[in-house]
């Protein structure tokens, strides 16, 4: 059975609520906020990667004129925190484990004074062995990053430096490999990289009595509030998080950390305190960067090219602390098996402590680099068995009714249509110059199903308001909520004001993470607006002497079905309601439960072995290579996506285009390098090469619209992360054709491509 695209009514164009402020420059970001008497905050960082603190003296800093507060771990509650492993304190507590660890925090009258105070803090260390190698950290004789690991609270399967182990097993992989006509083995290594949002992190905190208000550039305000409450031992109703405009995040601004430091400084100083990161701090301090991973694959196929068995082993660089990466081992295991029919499968993934900066949620965590490795390996398998790469994927990829690698049976999905659309859009199979090639890759990503809430109200003049806990980080997902409310109530999206990004006003939402905003909060808004729609139909039925079931809400009017001349404006009904029961709705939109799996077993299961409303994609990328220098340039991208029903086509296309450009950077230029002590060597935008508008190729976007019942609103799936998954892999497969062999380390820089060309020429 093959899924078929569904026709949808084009969504209306409308102005984003935050658009004019951002375009004109009048919008205020956290770093723009100024409060009377605000102090400047600065941190003292470790600048070593693994050591015991033998001396910490802040007396000189505290005695300096203009310094209002200097804090260390001794000045805050002794709380270990972490969503999966409680392995961290706000400040270093006796041991330093990466270069960006915070030793102390200062609040002073201005930034220059704060800098001098930080310089006056005396810290002495006793060095500890540096754990710099991901695979080596798993050895039984490796030094421990956390000597006391066994005493930490955790819900993970752990052992020494193995912070989280997960496996997915189905069938008998060893027997499957033994019975295969052909087995291909590959090894790939992906470097870590950064989210690198243009807006630096910023936090402003102000106490009023025993309550603190924190303005912060976070993607997850409710998570930030929870972290402040936990580490400073405060109840939720004494902490308010407000997010002004957010200048991008890409997952790097998920989680909690610096809000508590600044709040603690403000409480001691009895003045507002403001923290703004420098660009170097953006690189070395946050505990959210994309994880480096080492991969080994074994895939067996029969004589016709059908996959018989796949075995994958992964070592994931967790860094010094686990942050939100605890579930990455299971997530990466799923990506290592891929959206393929595999009767015998085994994926084993280790999340490994090192003395690197901690890893965490960056756009589709573990997925782009794992897709790059797996899909590069998949092209190797296709070539070995003599099949065209597109034909191999068409033969082996899952389809409607198929069983995936973890035993989940898929409903109506569009991966096969994505393969067809992407290849056709790229002109796959047409003649090309000998310095160009087209690579193809498929990828997938879950739709995260979590609770969310919203309020909708209609005022007496007929204007509407949506109050949501959802967070807007530039994706436009929150803006699309106006469309959903308008569709439900027969109004115009422009009729609605959005109130969002304030934990003291709105109901809970997970935040701008996991591609979940429209998927979950959209259901909440539809449910809330549906309550108002029922009220309006009852009011209109009384006025029009009709049954509520016969009332149609459209074009700002409530009218009787089949009699458009019998109607009353919604604004008039709202005015009537203002004298009695107000038009207020609330909803939380029950999240879909996890799909069942059959015939597989999982170790370290955290809910990632079966995916609600999975998204599928295929990218076909044309690449041009200068063989004399190893410089590759992406000439054209054809990106096809099954993201369910598309609610806002303009916003959806923008998401794909932005993610593709991010994927090009991950493929060719973006990667963190370390010295032998685990310090970053390229922690600056001059050395860390981001893609810009000048690097952007033409991008053709194709949506295979598959209505996904009981998923997101109107059959929608998530969208923000999936387009980032397959780009680097498709570029890799194009380069492999041009080089004559895969480039086995990500990013595939000009130097690495040139080296692969040289090695291939020597072998020839």
For residue 9, pLDDT over 60 is answered with no
pLDDT at 680 over 80: yes
Please, which pLDDT band fits residue 726 given cuts at 50, 70 and 90?
Answer: very high
Report d(CA 657, CA 641) in Å as an integer: 12
The pLDDT value recorded for residue 13 is 57
Task: Give the phi and the psi of residue 397 in degrees, each rounded to 5.
Answer: -70, 155
Q: Please, are residues 385 and 403 in contact by the beta-carbon 8 Å criterion?
A: no
Collapsing DSSP states into helix, strand and coil, what is residue 569? strand
Note whether 516 and 612 are within 8 A (CB).
no
Confidence band (pLDDT; 50, 70, 90) for 6? very low
Task: Provide CB contacts within 8 A for 317, sequence distance 6+.
Answer: 134, 192, 291, 292, 293, 352, 354, 356, 359
Task: In whole angstroms, give the CA distance from residue 570 to residue 563.
Answer: 16
Q: What is the C-alpha separation between 226 and 158, in angstroms, rounded?
A: 25
- Mean pLDDT of the region 717-728: 95
Q: List Cα–Cα distances, 417 to 420, 427, 535, in angstroms.
A: 5, 15, 42
Contact indicator for 91, 105 with CB cutoff of 8 Å: yes
3-state SS, residue 616: strand
Name the packing angle between helices 258-269 and 221-232 (round to 10°): 50
Question: For residue 481, which of 11, 24, 26, 20 has the smallest C-alpha distance?
Answer: 11
Mean per-residue pLDDT, 238-258? 94
- Alpha-carbon distance of 719 to 703, in angstroms, equals 11
Confidence at residue 28, expressed as pLDDT on a 0 to 100 scale: 93
Q: Say yes or no: domain 32-128+198-248+254-284 is CATH 3.40.50.261.
A: no
Q: What's the pTM?
A: 0.96
Q: Is the distance from CB of 674 to CB of 50 less than 8 angstroms?
A: no
- Mean pLDDT in residue range 332-361: 97
Q: CB-based burial of residue 688 (10 Å sphere; 0-12 exposed, 13-18 middle, 19+ buried)?
A: buried
DSSP state of 521: I
Higher pLDDT, 427 or 14: 427
Residue 58 falls in which region: left (phi positive, over 0), alpha (psi -120 to 50) or beta: alpha
The stretch 566-590 carries a mean pLDDT of 89
Helices (H) and strands (E) in the chain, counts: 17, 28
Q: For position 1, what pLDDT does the model report?
A: 29
Domain 32-128+198-248+254-284 identical in fold to domain 293-448+596-763: no
How many other C-beta atoms are found inside a 10 Å radius of the C-beta of residue 709? 10
The residues spanned by each domain of the chain are 32-128+198-248+254-284, 293-448+596-763, 450-587
Residue 461: pLDDT band by 50, 70, 90 thresholds?
A: very high
User: Given 3.20.20.370, 3.40.190.10, 3.40.50.300, 3.30.365.10, which CATH number is that of 450-587?
Assistant: 3.30.365.10
* Residue-level pLDDT at 633: 98
Tokens 């990161």 belong to 277
According to the model, what pLDDT value does residue 18 have?
86
- Residue-level pLDDT at 4: 35
Residues 51-101: tens digit of each pLDDT: 999 999 999 999 999 999 999 999 999 999 999 999 999 999 999 999 999
Helix (H, G, I), strand (E, B) or coil at 108: strand
Inter-residue contact 535 to 580 (CB < 8 Å) = no
pLDDT, position 7: 34
- At 19, is the pLDDT very low, low, confident or very high (cuts 50, 70, 90)? confident
Q: Is the pLDDT of residue 585 over 80?
A: yes
Pairwise CA distance, residues 615 & 617, whole Å: 7
- The more confident residue out of 7 and 169 is 169
Render pLDDT for 286-304 as a digit per residue (tens, 0 to 9).
999 999 999 999 999 999 9
Q: How confident is the model at residue 22 (pLDDT cuts 50, 70, 90)?
A: confident
Q: What average pLDDT does the segment 125-153 reach?
A: 97
Q: For residue range 528-541, list pLDDT tens digits in order.
A: 999 999 999 999 99
**Matching residue, tokens 């006391």:** 148
Least confident of 136-145, 198-207, 679-688, 701-710: 701-710
Angle at 357 between CA 354 and CA 363, to 5 degrees: 115
pLDDT band of 14, cuts 50, 70, 90:
low
- 3-state SS of 179-225 is CCCEEEEEEEEECCECCCCCCCCEEEEEEECCEEEEEECCCCHHHHH
- Count CA atoms closer than 13 A to 591's CA, side-chain side: 21
Please tell me the predicted confidence (pLDDT) of residue 3.
37
What confidence tier does 206 reach under pLDDT thresholds 50, 70, 90?
A: very high
Whether the predicted pLDDT of 737 surpasses 70: yes
Instruction: Taking residues 713-735, report their average pLDDT.
Output: 96
Residues 6 or more apart in contact with residue 513 via CB below 8 angstroms: 219, 220, 251, 254, 361, 448
- Name the DSSP letter for residue 25: T
Q: What is the signed CA dihedral for 701, 706, 710, 712, rounded to 10 degrees? A: 10
Residue 236 pLDDT exceeds 60: yes
Alpha-carbon span 396 to 387, nearest angstrom: 12
- Tell me if the domain spanning 293-448+596-763 has CATH number 3.30.70.3400: no
Going by C-beta distance under 8 Å and a sequence separation of 6 or more, which residues neighbour residue 702?
418, 421, 422, 425, 638, 639, 640, 641
Residues paired with residue 17 on neighbouring β-strands, in sequence order: none
Residue 5 confidence (pLDDT): 35
| Alpha-helix runs per DSSP H in 359-453 | 367-385, 389-396, 415-426
pLDDT tens digit string along 468-522? Answer: 999 998 888 898 999 999 999 999 999 999 999 999 999 999 999 988 999 999 9
Give the percent of the chain with pLDDT over 70: 98
- Coil, strand, or helix at residue 539? helix
């Amino acid at each position: 059975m093959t899924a078929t695209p569904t026709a949808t009514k084009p969504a209306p164009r409308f102005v984003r609520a935050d658009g004019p402020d951002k375009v004109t420059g009048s919008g205020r970001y956290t770093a723009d906020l100024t409060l009377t008497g605000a102090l400047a905050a600065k941190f003292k960082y470790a600048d070593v990667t693994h050591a015991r603190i033998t001396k910490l003296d802040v007396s000189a800093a505290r005695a300096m004129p203009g310094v209002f507060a200097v804090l260390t771990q001794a000045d805050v509650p002794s709380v270990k925190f972490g969503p999966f492993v409680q392995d961290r304190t706000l400040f270093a507590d006796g041991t330093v484990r990466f270069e960006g660890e915070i030793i102390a925090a200062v609040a002073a009258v201005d930034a220059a004074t704060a800098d001098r105070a930080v310089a006056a803090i005396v810290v002495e260390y006793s060095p500890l062995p540096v754990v710099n190698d991901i695979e080596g950290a798993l050895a039984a004789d490796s030094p421990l990053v956390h000597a006391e690991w066994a005493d930490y609270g955790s819900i993970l399967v752990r052992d020494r430096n193995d912070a989280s182990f997960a496996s997915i097993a189905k069938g008998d992989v060893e027997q499957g490999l033994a019975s295969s006509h052909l087995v291909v083995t590959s090894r790939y290594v992906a470097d870590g990289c950064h989210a690198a949002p243009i807006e630096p992190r910023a936090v402003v905190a102000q106490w009023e009595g025993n309550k603190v208000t924190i303005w912060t550039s976070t993607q997850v305000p409710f998570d930030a509030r929870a972290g402040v409450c936990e580490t400073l031992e405060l109840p939720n109703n004494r902490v308010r998080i407000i997010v002004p405009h957010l200048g991008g995040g890409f997952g790097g601004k998920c989680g909690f950390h610096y809000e508590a430091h600044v709040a603690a400084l403000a409480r001691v100083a009895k003045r507002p305190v403001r923290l703004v990161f420098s660009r170097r701090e953006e690189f070395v301090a946050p505990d959210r960067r994309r994880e480096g991973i080492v991969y080994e694959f074994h895939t067996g196929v029969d004589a016709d090219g059908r996959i018989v068995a796949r075995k994958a082993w992964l070592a994931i660089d967790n860094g010094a602390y686990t942050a939100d990466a605890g579930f990455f081992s299971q997530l990466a295991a799923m990506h290592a098996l891929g959206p393929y029919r595999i009767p015998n499968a085994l994926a084993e993934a280790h999340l490994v402590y090192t003395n690197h900066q901690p890893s965490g949620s960056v756009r589709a965590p573990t997925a782009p680099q794992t897709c790059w490795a797996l899909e590069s390996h998949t092209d190797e398998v296709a070539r070995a068995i003599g099949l065209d790469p597109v034909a191999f994927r068409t033969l082996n990829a899952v389809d409607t009714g198929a069983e995936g690698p973890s035993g989940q049976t898929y409903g109506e999905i569009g991966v096969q249509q994505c393969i067809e659309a992407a290849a056709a859009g790229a002109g796959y199979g047409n003649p090309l110059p000998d310095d160009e090639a087209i690579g193809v890759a498929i990828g997938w990503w879950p739709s995260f199903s979590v609770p969310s809430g919203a309020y909708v109200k209609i005022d007496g003049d007929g204007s509407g308001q949506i109050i949501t806990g959802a967070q807007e980080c530039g994706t436009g997902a929150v803006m699309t909520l106006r469309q959903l409310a308008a569709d439900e109530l027969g109004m115009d999206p422009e009729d609605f004001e959005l109130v969002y990004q304030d934990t003291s006003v709105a109901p809970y939402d997970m935040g701008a993470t996991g591609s979940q905003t429209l998927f979950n909060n959209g259901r909440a808004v539809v449910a809330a607006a549906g309550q108002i729609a029922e009220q309006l139909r009852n009011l209109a039925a009384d006025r029009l002497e009709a049954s509520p079931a016969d009332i149609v809400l459209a074009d700002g009017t409530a009218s009787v079905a089949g009699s458009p001349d019998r109607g009353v404006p919604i604004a008039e009904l709202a005015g009537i309601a203002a004298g009695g029961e107000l038009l207020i709705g609330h909803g939380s939109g029950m999240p879909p439960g996890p799909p069942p799996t059959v015939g597989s077993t999982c170790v370290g299961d955290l809910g990632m072995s079966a995916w609600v409303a999975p998204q599928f994609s295929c990218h076909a990328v044309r690449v041009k290579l200068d063989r004399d220098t190893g410089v590759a340039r992406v000439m054209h991208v054809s990106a096809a996506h099954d993201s369910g029903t598309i609610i806002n086509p303009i916003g959806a296309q923008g998401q794909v285009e932005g993610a593709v450009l991010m994927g090009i950077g991950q493929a060719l230029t973006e990667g963190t390098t370390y010295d032998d002590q685990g310090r970053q060597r390229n922690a600056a935008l001059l050395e860390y090469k981001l893609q810009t508008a000048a690097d952007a190729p033409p991008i053709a976007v194709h949506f295979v619209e598959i209505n996904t019942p009981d998923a997101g609103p109107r059959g929608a799936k998530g969208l923000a992360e999936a387009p980032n998954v397959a780009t680097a892999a498709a570029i890799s497969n194009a380069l492999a054709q041009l080089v004559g062999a895969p480039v086995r380390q990500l990013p595939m820089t000009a130097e690495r491509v040139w080296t692969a060309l040289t090695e291939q020429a020597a072998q020839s």
